[in-house]
């Protein structure tokens, strides 16, 4: 585990089982019918959320700068380092000695890091910045 002020990183572990039971009928928010037939299978979240295990990491969000994108404090991000950065993708970036998660805005030869909270400023990346796009966020896991 590696920590920074804004993100805490984790790597995927080897799967220890066949996954959790998956009920393939959808979950009703109303009253279930006792006559409903359903089929049980097993599902692995690693199989569902990770495309490239060797290039995938997890990180916990710290802060409020991406709340309008649905990324809240302590949410668990799935980050794939093998994906190409692109305009409008949410990326984990290393900026001037710290990790941050922001939406990429790319136009011609300019890059901005766009927070998804109006209380935070847009960051214009210049040649003076120590800047690396570290990976692309593919999924977010929330506690309820």
pLDDT in tens, 24-82: 555 556 665 555 555 567 777 888 888 888 889 999 999 999 999 999 999 999 999 99
pLDDT for 73 equals 93
Q: Given 4, 33, 44, 102, which residue is catalytic?
A: 102
The reply to whether 28 belongs to the active site is no
Q: What is the pLDDT of residues 91-132, one digit of tens each?
A: 999 999 999 999 999 998 899 999 999 999 999 999 999 999
Q: Which residue has the higher pLDDT, 144 or 11?
A: 144
Closest CA to 11 of 54, 50, 57: 57
Q: Do 136 and 83 contact (CB within 8 A), yes or no?
A: yes
To the question of domain 52-141 being in CATH 3.20.20.70, the answer is no
pLDDT for 16 equals 57
Q: Given 65, 82, 108, 142, which residue is catalytic?
A: 65
Q: Do 112 and 86 contact (CB within 8 A), yes or no?
A: no
The reply to whether 65 belongs to the active site is yes
Please tell me what DSSP assigns to residue 70: T
**Helical (H) or strand (E) element with 47:** helix 45-49
What angle is formed at CA 61 by the lines to CA 59 and CA 62, rounded to 5 degrees?
Answer: 130
Number of Cβ within 10 Å of residue 14's Cβ equals 6
């Amino acid at each position: 585990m590696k920590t920074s002020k804004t993100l805490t990183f984790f790597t995927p572990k080897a799967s220890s089982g066949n996954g959790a039971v998956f009920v393939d009928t959808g979950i009703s928010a109303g009253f279930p019918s006792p006559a409903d037939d359903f089929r049980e299978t097993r599902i692995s979240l690693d199989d569902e959320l990770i495309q490239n295990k060797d290039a995938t990491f997890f990180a916990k969000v710290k802060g409020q700068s991406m709340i309008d994108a649905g990324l809240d404090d302590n949410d668990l991000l799935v980050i794939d380092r093998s994906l190409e950065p692109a305009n409008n993708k949410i990326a984990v970036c290393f900026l001037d000695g710290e990790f941050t998660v922001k939406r990429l805005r790319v136009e011609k030869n300019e890059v901005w890091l766009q927070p998804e909270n109006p209380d935070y400023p847009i960051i214009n990346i210049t040649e003076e910045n120590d800047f690396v796009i570290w990976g692309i966020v593919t999924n977010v896991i929330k506690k309820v």
